[in-house]
Structure 1
Amino acid sequence: MFGSAVYSVWTLQVLTTLVMAGVPLGYDCDAAGNHSLPGRECTSYVECLAKEDGRGMVPVERSCSAQMAFSPILRRCVDDALVKGCNRTVRLLDLLEMHDPSLDYMCSDAPNQYVCANCKTLVNCIDGRAYPSRCEVGDFCLSNWDAFGGDVCYPGRPKGCACGETNVFYQDVYDAEAFFKCDESGETDMHYCPVEHWFDATAVECRSSRGLPSCTVPGTFAVHSDCRRYYACIVTRGGGFLQHEFRCPDHDGILFYNEQIGRCDDPCHWKPPEFECSSEGRFADPTDCRRFFVCTWDAESAAFRQVSRQCPEGFEWQQLLRSGVGHCADRGTVPCTSATTSQCILPPGLCS
C-alpha cells in the first residue's frame, strides 16, 4: 500500500515534469485556457489547466497540427494563412528542397515573415531560414505589411518592377546587384551582377564599389562614362579577376583611353558614329556592337527622334530579320564586328 502511494507520487512528478517541458521557465498562468508563447513558433501555444487541488494552474505546451497555427485572438488553432506573420503551410520535405542559405541574411530581422529578395523573388522566412519562390507571370514582389502581414507577389505592382519598355534593362528596386529586362509579353528576365558589384542603369553595366565595370574577359578597357579612366582585368590562379585602375595624364589636354590602339589619345580625332533614323524601330549601331538606336517619329517637329541605348556587359544587340526589330543577346551568339575606334561617350562641345 505504501509502495503504491510512493509510485503514484513519483508518477505525478514525472508527468508534471513532462507537462512543463518546453514551457519557458517561470511561466505563470494568469487564467485558464490557451495562450500564445512569446518567441516560439506559430504552431506552439500553452494550455493552462487548473490543478486537482484547486490551488493554481499548471502550464502545458501544445502544438497545432500540420498547416495550422495558433491564433492569439481566437485562442485556438486555425488555418495558418489566417494568422498574421505566420507561414507554415509548406510541407517539410518541400522546405528542405527550397532552402537557400545564401538568402538567410534576409530573415535576420524577420525570422517568420515574407520578404522580397528582388522584383520576382519572394522569400518565405521560417525560423530565420530562407525559402525563396518565384512570382507568377505578371506578378511582382510587393511590400504590403498592412493587408498581408508581410510582402506578397502581386499583379502589376510595384511600378518599379513592372515593365515600362521592352528590351530595356532596369535596376531591381530591392536588390542593387540585380537587374532585369522585359520581353515582348511584359515578363521580366532577371540577371545578377558579380558579388560586390551593383547595376548602373544609366551605363547599363555592373560596376564595382569604385565605379568600375565588372571584369568578364582579360584585357585593358576604358570606363565608357569617363574615358579618362581605364582599367586592366588580369586572370588570377583561382579563375577570378584582379582589377587595377589607371587614369590618362592631363598635361597634353583632355585624353581618353583608346581601346583599339591601347593607349590614351585625343578623342577629337576619332571617327564619330554614323547613323541617322529613317524609319521607326530599333536599329543596331554600326559603330558599337553593344549599342542600338530607338527611332520614333515626332509629329510636332516632323522629324525622327533618335535615342542611343546600350546592352549590358556580356550582351550585344542582335538585329532580327524584320527591319526595326531586335533584342540584346548573349555575346558570342551575335555575329558582330564593331567599326568604332572607341565606345567612349564624348561630352557635348568637347571638340568644338
Structure 2
Amino acid sequence: MTWYALVLVAFVVAGANGQGFKCPAKDGQYDDPRQCDKYWECVDGEATPKLCPDGLVFDPLIRKRNKCDQPFNVDCGDRTELQAPQPKGPCPRRNGFFAHEDPSVCNKFYNCIEGDYTEITCTNGLHFDEYSGTCVWPDSAGRQGCKDNSNVLKDGFSCPTEAQKDANGNLVVHPKYAHPTDCQRFYVCLNGVEPRDLGCQVGEVYNEENQRCDAPENVPGCEDWYKDDPAASSKPVKKQ
C-alpha cells in the first residue's frame, strides 16, 4: 500500500470515528450538536460517538458520570434528532414514562426500564402528563378524549352517587356495599367516591345489614357459601 493510500485510510477511519466533531481541550463527555440522545467521549483529543439508552437524552449540565436523563428533565434546544426507537410491549421506547396506549385512559401510565414496564395509576382525580412525567390536575395536563376511569374498578363497580346514612340519619363517610355475586367480598367507598374491593376472612361473609363480616348463617342467601369448603365450614359459629 502506498503512502498516499495509508494517509487516505487513516483519514477515513478518523472521519468515521469522529464524524467531524472536534474535542475541546479538556477530556470529557460532550453533547452532539444535532442529536439529543447522542454524545461524544473525548480522550486525549480523540472523539468517540456514544448513545444514551433508548428513551433517555444527554444532559451536558449533569455533573455525574452518567449524563443521560429523562427528556422532561433536559432542554435539548436545537438538538431535535433522536435515535430510532426500540419499542417493546406498551413501551414506545425502552426507557421512560409513557402514557397508556388507550388515549381515553388518562389516569394510568407506564414506567419503562429497558423494555420492562410497570403500570402506575395516578392518585384519584389526576391525569398523567408526558411533558412533566408526573400526574397533574386535568386542566394542567390538557389531554383530550379522557374518560373518567379513576373511580371505576375492574369489575365495573363505582360508588353510588346517593350518599349513605346510618340508622341515626348521619352521613357515612366511608360507606360499604355488598358484592352482588360474592358473599365474601364487599366494597368500601373512601370519602364516598373512591372505591376499594375488600373481602372477609375465610369462613365469614359480608353482612350488609350491620356492615361487617359475619357468620354465613347470619346472612340470608349466604348460608351455604362455604359448604364445599370443609376447612372453612369447621370454623366456630360467630353469633350475631
TM-score range, shorter chain: 0.3 to 0.5
Higher strand share: 1
Structure 1 length-normalised TM:
0.30
TM-score, with normalisation over the residues of structure 2? 0.40
